Amino acid sequence: MNRTRGEAVAAVLLLLLVACGGSSSNPQGPSPTPTPTPATSADPLRADAEASGRAIGAAVQSSYLGQADYAATFARHFDYVTAEYEMKWDPTERQPGVFDFAGADAIASFAAAHGMRIKGHALLWHQALPAWVTALGPAELRAAIRSHIQAVVGRYRGQIVAWDVVNEAVADDGSGLRDTVFLQKLGEEYLDLAFQTAHEADPAALLIYNDYGGEGLGAKSDAIDALVSRLRGRGVPVGGVGLQMHVAAQSRPSSADIAANMRRLAALGVLVNVSEMDVRIRNVAGDLAARLAVQRSEYHDIVAVCVAEPACHAVTFWGFTDRYSWIDAFFGPDDPLLFDESYAPKPAFFGVQDALRRR
Ligand code: XIL
């Protein structure tokens, strides 16, 4: 069907990303310069990612970027950055019309200083939503969505290459759209409004629908596929789908199903990306070394799917060091990321490296 078109879009996006400053080498080296750590002697992941034609990203928080080891590890290994929190509605517009871009600007400056591209996250989400938005009637809600998206996307026009425009709009059981304030007051058309407004604010940005639980095949990914198909069918400018990939080792969707899902999305004419990957191992049997070995193969196999699928242009992890992960608070203590708490690369890091090297 439309595979060729998806590939053409991927090629254009790659050119655009490179033109936007995504050089893998930083002549000055990471800055500030820390005491050498194991992470700073491992081969930079971003060089392997560039060679594979994929962007390699992580979610960060601006407050951590002032820590030398955190900043040096991040700058050395990643060429794509997402704000874990600071570009959401609540931190950016806590009161109507009063914008605070301090955290978002700090992340954008770090990205510019280190030749990284930026993916914005997330314009419309039922969480991190200020109470004043929830209280609005339909007409006011429509106006608030427009002015919020115009302000946030407009501020970073030309600097942010891709946006998660709508996050988690599909119900967990795939029965339809999630019952949110947006759906209740505006119906499905709230998605049209969000994507159209974002497109007006930055016509060059790749506009993404992002969700979890629809990585493989099943009711939820069927519903996401159907939603994207309806949106594109009525001319809504959705150009990408993000598969969050918060998974538990040994109970994740199969690689074959993830690949099949990516292909059917590509057939709709959109790019895909792995947008928030982390791999929980607390329920894996065995000692720590055994659990880390399982985690390595899970990371390897999932990243390998992206590297093998032409429509998959980026992999973003939801953090990079086990020192700072949302998993500990939301799912219980774990070690879900690529670097340990002291920034040493874990087996998982080398699994990703191998996948990017097509090994
Ligand atoms: C999470 C952050 O990691 C937390 O720090 C924050 O408190 C809540 O949000 N899906 C998403 C992300 O799209 O925005 C969420 O991030 C994790 C689940």
* Whole-angstrom distance, CA of residue 183 vs CA of residue 227: 14
The torsion of the CA quartet 205, 207, 213, 217, rounded to 10 degrees, works out to -110
- Tell me, in angstroms, the distance from the centre of ligand 1 to residue 230's CA: 27
Residue-wise pLDDT tens digits, 21-79: 333 333 334 444 444 456 678 999 999 999 999 999 999 999 999 999 999 999 999 99
Helix, strand or coil, per DSSP, at residue 120: strand
Helix, strand or coil, per DSSP, at residue 312: strand
- Tell me, in angstroms, the distance from the centre of ligand 1 to residue 85's CA: 7
Active site residue 276: yes
The answer to whether the CB of 134 falls within 8 A of the CB of 176 is no
- The half-sphere exposure of 61 on its side-chain side, counting CA atoms within 13 A, is 11
Confidence of residue 11 (pLDDT cuts 50, 70, 90): very low
* Whole-angstrom distance, CA of residue 349 vs CA of residue 338: 5
* Whole-angstrom distance, CA of residue 232 vs CA of residue 228: 6
Residue 164: left if φ>0, alpha if ψ -120 to 50, beta else—which one?
A: beta
Active site residue 168: yes
With a 6 Å cutoff on the Cβ, whether 331 touches ligand 1 is no
In angstroms, how far is the first alpha carbon of the chain from the final one?
30
- Tell me, in angstroms, the distance from the centre of ligand 1 to residue 326's CA: 7
Shortest-distance atom of ligand 1 to CA 212: 10
Shortest-distance atom of ligand 1 to CA 88: 14
Residue-wise pLDDT tens digits, 225-256: 999 999 999 999 999 999 999 999 999 999 99
DSSP per-residue codes, 1-37: --HHHHHHHHHHHHHHHHHTT--S--TT-SSSPPSP-
Which mutation among 64, 82, 85 tests ligand 1's pocket best, with the greatest number of atoms within 8 A of CB? 85
Residue-wise pLDDT tens digits, 170-219: 999 999 999 999 999 999 999 999 999 999 999 999 999 999 999 999 99
With a 6 Å cutoff on the Cβ, whether 326 touches ligand 1 is yes
- Tell me, in angstroms, the distance from the centre of ligand 1 to residue 274's CA: 15
- Tell me, in angstroms, the distance from the centre of ligand 1 to residue 340's CA: 20
With a 6 Å cutoff on the Cβ, whether 64 touches ligand 1 is no
At which residue do the structure tokens 């990017």 appear? 356
In what helix (H) or strand (E) does residue 283 lie, and over which residues does it extend?
none
| Catalytic residue of the set 86, 93, 276, 309 | 276
Tokens found for residue 308: 């093998």
Q: Whose CA is nearest to atom 15 of ligand 1?
A: 84
Shortest-distance atom of ligand 1 to CA 125: 13
Which mutation among 224, 246, 318, 324 tests ligand 1's pocket best, with the greatest number of atoms within 8 A of CB? 318
Predicted local distance difference test score (pLDDT) of residue 41: 84
Residue-wise pLDDT tens digits, 119-150: 999 999 999 999 999 999 999 999 999 999 99
| Catalytic residue of the set 168, 215, 298, 309 | 168
- Tell me, in angstroms, the distance from the centre of ligand 1 to residue 83's CA: 10
Predicted local distance difference test score (pLDDT) of residue 120: 99
Bond before 122 cis per omega within 30 degrees: yes
